[in-house]
Every structure is written in C-alpha cells, then in structure tokens.
Structure 1
C-alpha cells in the first residue's frame, strides 16, 4: 500500500485539470452534444407520448436514464485518465461495460440511501417526538456507509466488477482519512461553484444591473432581454460540468490507488485528443 494523504487526494482533480486541460475542454464539447441530443430526445418523446400521463412518466424515465448514462460517461472518462490512460478511447470517452457498471453502482447506492431514509422516517413517526434522534442516527449511519462504500465506483472501473464488500475492506481502519478527503473535496467543489457564480453575477450586474442578474438566472424571457449574458452563463455551465466531475471522481481514484497499492499513471504522458 502506498502512503495516503487526504489533502493530496482531495486536490487530485485540480492536478488532473492542470495536466489534461485540453481533454477537459473536450469533455465540455461532449457535454454540449449530450445536451443537444437530450433536447431532441425530449421533443421526440413529448410528441410520441401525446400528453398521456403514463406515457409522459415513461418519457421522463427515459430522459432521466439518458442523463445518468451521459454523466457516467464523463465519470468513467475521469477514471480512465487516472487509472487506464493507455486504453484506446476518443478523449477517454466510451460507452461500454465500465459505464454501465457505474450506472448500476449509482442506482444501487441511491436505492440503498432511499431505503435507509424511508426506514428512518417510518421509525421516527412510530416513536413520535423522540423520532428526531432516530433520524439523526440514520443520517450519521448514512454518512458512515457512504464513506465505507465510496470506493465502489473506482473499484468497479479498475477491477471491472460491482464490489461493495471490496470497498468496505479497502476502507477498513481508514474511515477518518476517507471522511476528511471527501469533506475537503466537497468543500473545494462548493468553493469552485460559488466562485464561478459570484464572478458571473459580478459580470452580469456590471453589464445590466439587477436586470442583468435576472438575465443569467431567468428563463426564456431573460434570454430575450440579455441574450449575451444568458449564453455566457450557458457556456460556463457546459464547461463547469466536466470540471466538477474531475474534482469529484479523481480523489476517489487517488484513494483507490493508494489503498490498493497500484501505481499512478505517468504524469508526462502526451495528451490525446
């Protein structure tokens, strides 16, 4: 096992962006293409559904799964850069078993979290006024399970299997540094988002005052009044999405490499577009 630093691992996403910034920009292009395809798919499904409630629900499910798969492709691309950079793929983007495995892991995780929340709410209502402590205990338990199972996605990518027990074994005795890494990573992601939004708000306010602020946070009407600001906010959102995925997934890959004892990819590898 190589040494593990929670702070270094949390910063791995920034190192990835610095080393592979061209690829991250390429991922922004993929994000834009995915959004365009999603809009087209939504329009097609709306026409096919014909306004029926069940048909619209099915259309919503299809769109939700499409978004999930698109995000899984980005997350897997981050893992591919971090753990299998030599694997052939255009900008490290693929749609295959690795991505399907990530979707399955996320669905299992979301289902488990929902079940735990539902049981805590049920127990809280049964107990009555003291149920708040059960809900707090359930939240603490959810955080603990989240930390212990956090390495399931990188394990799924690196070892090509859905292995929740494997994550539990790798994080045994390392829950505290893992929690520190995840907390620091979440704070850094939040800081990036707040900084970007604050800068965008300053630009909008300087350009059009309060009406300019409405131009970036409003809908179609805002786009008509301030198309330039609206498009700027849209472009930043397209670029920010892969950046956030890099900041979120790269630390998990770094933690997996440290705990599993695998060597990191060479930093001097030439960029591939």
Structure 2
C-alpha cells in the first residue's frame, strides 16, 4: 500500500466535507458534556476563578496557592474520567468516519464495544507515556546530577543532551503507537503492537504528518476564536463568573447565562472540528499502510 504523509495530514478536512453533519453530532456531544460540567461544577468554577483573580498581580504565598488545590483537584478528579470517555467516543467516531465510512448514522457516534476498546487503549497509552516519560527524565536527572558533582558545566551539558534524547525517545514512542486507535476501530480488537509493525520505517513521515495536522488544528482554533470574538465581547465573557463566587448554579446561569452559552457552543464547534483535523490523519495513514479493513 502507498502512504503519503502530506495527503493524510488533510484527511480531517475531507471528513468534514464528506459528512458535515457528523461535525454537528460531535459538537452536540461536546455541548452535552460541557453543559453537564457547568451544571455540576458551576459553583466550584466560579469560586476558583474568584480566588485566582484575587491572587492576580500579587506574590501569592504557598498557603494561598495551597488553598486552591482542593477545588482544582476536585474538578480534575471528577472531570478527568468523563473527559476520557468523551475522548474515546469521539476518537472512535473520527476513526470510523475514515475506515468505516458506511457506518455514518448519528455522525459515526456509537457507545459500544468499539468505544470501550478505544477507552482501554487510551488509558494504556496514557500509562505507558506517563511511566516512560517519568523514567526517562528521572534517569536524565540522575545522570546530570552525577556529572554536576564533578563539574557544574558538565552537569548542564549532560542534562541538556540527555534531556533532548529523552524528548526524542518519548516522541518516537508516541509515533510508533499512533495508529493504535485506527487499528482498534478498523479491526475491532485491542492492539498496540500492530501499530508498531505498521509504523516501522514510517516514523519520520508520520511525525511530519502529525506536525502538519497539529498546525492545522491550531489554525482552526484561531480562526474560530476570531469568528466568535464579537459574540464573546457582547456577552461579557466568562470573566464575570469571578463576581459570582458563592452563588448557586442557578444564580450563575441567570446572571451569566448568555456568556456561558456562547462559550459552550463555540468550544463545542471548535473542539469537534479540531478533533477531526487532528485525529483523522492517523486513520488515513492506517488505510495507506494497511488498506481497507474486512467488513464483518
């Protein structure tokens, strides 16, 4: 099979052109998630924004910074699992839009075995990248420390060289595992090692494709932000939440409803577009390297 990195990098735009209604479904799913987030955490978010605004322009003490931790950790602890599930559903939908284009009902969205498999793959890769990064930079720190004991300049040199090497190793690992989700959707099975086999000899091409896709994702976000700027300015933005510290979620919605609505809708559309632009290229790369999956 043939694989063109530059051609695959723009697959997300082709997905949107082939089935624009899919973006509507993806944005709607983001809307549901964000609306639920504000409904559950609106009061905590207002308190956090008020606290951070109070600390702006000052030199906060460790105690003041520590006071923000419970709210921030609480938001993260509850939002992270929901975010992982949302990501799995949307990543599966984007991959399905490329490798199983006939399954386009409901914007390729499903909630079934494929999504559970993608969720499992995502969690495993998150652990692998996290542990691998921690081990790599721990070794860098140890080696740099040993070198610095003999000579400070040598320690800096060793730290920089090995640090760059560690970054390269982590990026290499990410590239080699980058086709795990397309493989999982196309072949309806959990697989990490198949990605290693498929990407062998194509790491640099895939990296270049990923860089192009990332730049396109950034440009889409910038463009949508500019388009939505008049609406954001008209409603006052989310900065007004800081003045609602201690208010109930219902009171927050009454006072800042238009600003929250604009924020939620704009972010839903932007996130849906960015999801397609960033992740569809990897499924296109899978097709280029492996070919169409057997329907079953």
TM range (shorter): 0.7 to 0.9
1:114 correspondence with 2:130: yes
| Separation in 2, partners of 1:87, 1:195 | 30
Give the counterpart of 1:176 among 204, 210, 215: 204
Contact 2:140 2:162 in 1 (8 A): yes
| Separation in 2, partners of 1:40, 1:228 | 15
Using the size of structure 1 for normalisation, the TM-score is: 0.79
Match of 2:63 in 1: none
Deviations 1:166-203 (A, max 9, x none): 111111111121111111101111111122223444x3
1:188 correspondence with 2:216: yes
1:38 offset after TM fit, Å? Answer: 3.8
Q: For structure 1, which segment, 145-154 or 18-27, has the greater mean C-alpha deviation from structure 2 after superposition?
A: 18-27
1:41 offset after TM fit, Å? Answer: 5.4
Q: 1:136 to 1:101 in 2, by over 3 A?
A: same
1:88 offset after TM fit, Å? Answer: 7.5
Contact 1:11 1:251 in 2 (8 A): yes
Structure with greater helix percent = 2
| Separation in 1, partners of 2:261, 2:40 | 22
| Separation in 2, partners of 1:159, 1:58 | 37
Q: 1:85 to 1:255 in 2, by over 3 A?
A: same
Deviations 1:238-262 (A, max 9, x none): 1111111111221111110110022
5 Å-filtered alignment, 1:112-261, equals 112-127=128-143, 128=145, 129=155, 130-201=158-229, 203=230, 215-216=236-237, 218-221=239-242, 228=258, 231-261=261-291
Q: 1:95 to 1:69 in 2, by over 3 A?
A: same
Equivalences, count = 251
Pick the structure with greater CA Rg.
2
| Separation in 2, partners of 1:121, 1:243 | 34
After superposition, the CA RMSD in angstroms is 3.5
Using the size of structure 2 for normalisation, the TM-score is: 0.73
Q: Where do 5+ consecutive residues of structure 1 fail to align?
A: 44-52, 266-273
